[in-house]
Amino acid sequence: MSECIVVTAANFETEVLQSPVPVLLDFWAPWCGPCKMIGPIVEQLAAEYSGRLKVGKINVDEEADLAGRHGIVSIPSLMVYKDGALANQTAGALPKQNIEALFKDFL
């Protein structure tokens, strides 16, 4: 079972900005091939780091305003929030260790 949460404009403040643990956000779309490649990795990281890291997925087709506010121009895009502020970000399909490197220093 997935440990990922669906992040929307309605719950962004509560789930991301007010989170007591770092948050890894995956901006994705169902039609995106590279998104499908990293999706299982992101879900695996959510399970492995449960309790220490929150993992949220944002469907850019359904949350275009939220994607726009984050300046998303290519997907997949990954962002790490810590203490309510953007701490790290990258775009593109990456191997697991590169994704882990985005948030490891914030745990």
Among 4, 16, 25, 32, the one annotated catalytic: 32
Among 7, 23, 25, 35, the one annotated catalytic: 35
Q: What secondary structure does DSSP assign to 42-87, as a single string?
A: HHHHHHHTTTT-EEEEEETTT-HHHHHHTT--SSSEEEEEETTEEE
- Could you tell me the two tokens for 44? 């695996």
4 is catalytic: no
Residues involved in catalysis: 32, 35
